[in-house]
Structure 1
Amino acid sequence: MVKLAERRVFSHSFKPIYDEGMGLVEEAADFLDGEGRVLARSLSRVAASLYAAESMRLTTRLMQIASWLLLQRAANSGEMTRDQVAAEKAKVRLDNAGPDEKAPGWEELPTRFVDLVYRSVRLEERVRRMDQEIYGDGLDFRPDFRPSPVSAQIRLLETAFARG
């Protein structure tokens, strides 16, 4: 059986998704360090806390995606074997929960920031699907998964207060 994701990742057609992922990392970093920092100052206290927590989640999500993409690129270029990549990729978590759009303050978040969050979630879903097809690591991928509102709020609070 031919695994299309595996063929894609281990071929030249991997470059567009690699470029998309690394571009999103750079775009998010530029926003968070520049315009996002300025916009965050004008948010209400509730929205500012949510922004801080979601910023951390966005950064974590993008770093996990970047790690996965870099591992695949290393395998694609022959720097690492597929077995080495499989062993290293076990450290990469592609199972972050999406944002909680019903959280207090969500509607106040900057539009560009919300766009970055949604784009990162969609990219993570694509990468997760490829990972599962290639390595069959058994993650229970459910694109319609939504965490319970209570657990999502607890995670946001833990993140905001650095206890998670």
Structure 2
Amino acid sequence: MHEQGHEATNTIKLAERRVFSNSFKPLYNEGMSLVEQAAEYLDGEGRAAAKSLSRIGATLYAAESMRLTTRLMQIASWLLLQRAANSGEMTRDQVAAEKAKVRLDTASAPGDTVGWSELPEHFRSIVDHSLRLQSLVRRMDDQIYGETADRRAPAHLRTGNPVSDQINLLHTAFARG
């Protein structure tokens, strides 16, 4: 038993060390770069490609675009909070309180969904990248802060407005930087 507790403590220390050190910068850069890449794609090439999709493909593209945008807003919010803690602008406790508003659980439609294969390959690769990044960030978050009861609750039982929460969270993070 003692060995397992020691391993869990070491895992937490490693995750915290990664987030609160210079090795955080590549993760931060990857996340922010993906946000920019997705925005450029959705505003340009993606918008043009969506016009040639079938009705089913276009509906799926619209839904997945919204999920992608939400997922990336959540990832960016988490990264900005960690950066604020890293730079000393916020304490770990302040970050923990603010990051409770971040939802790192935005799913995507399964790859076998009707119309998925019709979606542009570049778009699907951005979605896949965002899902991998979200998974990594969520694991780090769980290791550092622990899994929250709110995250374990079914989505329909959660309180609050996720979009409003994200806007407020981004405002908080940017106001400090």
Question: Normalized against structure 1, the TM-score is what?
Answer: 0.83
- Structure 1 residues 36-90: Cα deviation after superposition (integer angstroms, max 9, x where no partner): 0000000001000000000000000000000000000000000000000000000
Which amino acid in 2 is paired with 1:59?
T
SS across alignment from 1:134 = helix
Give distance in 1, aligned partners of 2:112 and 2:16. Answer: 37
For residue 30 of structure 2, the aligned residue among 10, 17, 20 is 20
Across the two proteins, how many residue pairs are aligned to each other? 140
For residue 44 of structure 1, the aligned residue among 48, 51, 54 is 54
Give distance in 2, aligned partners of 1:134 and 1:54. Answer: 29
- Whether 1:129 and 2:129 are equivalent positions in the alignment is no
Alignment of 1:1-164 (within 5 A): 1-2=9-10, 3-138=13-148, 139=151
| 8 Å CA contact retained: 2:67, 2:108 | no
Give distance in 2, aligned partners of 1:99 and 1:119. Answer: 14
Q: Percent identity at matched positions?
A: 71
Which amino acid in 1 is paired with 2:28?
Y
| 8 Å CA contact retained: 1:65, 1:127 | yes
Give distance in 2, aligned partners of 1:101 and 1:137. Answer: 27
Which amino acid in 2 is paired with 1:53?
A
| 8 Å CA contact retained: 1:75, 1:81 | yes
Which amino acid in 2 is paired with 1:100?
P
- Residue 156 of structure 1: aligned partner: none
Gaps in structure 1 of 5+ consecutive residues: 141-164
Q: Spell out structure 1 runs of 4+ moving beyond 2 A.
A: 137-140
Which amino acid in 2 is paired with 1:136?
G
Which amino acid in 2 is paired with 1:118?
D
Which structure carries more helix by proportion? 2
In the TM superposition, residue 97 of structure 1 has moved relative to its aligned partner by 1.7
| 8 Å CA contact retained: 1:99, 1:117 | no
SS across alignment from 1:95 = coil
Question: Normalized against structure 2, the TM-score is what?
Answer: 0.77
| 8 Å CA contact retained: 1:10, 1:76 | yes
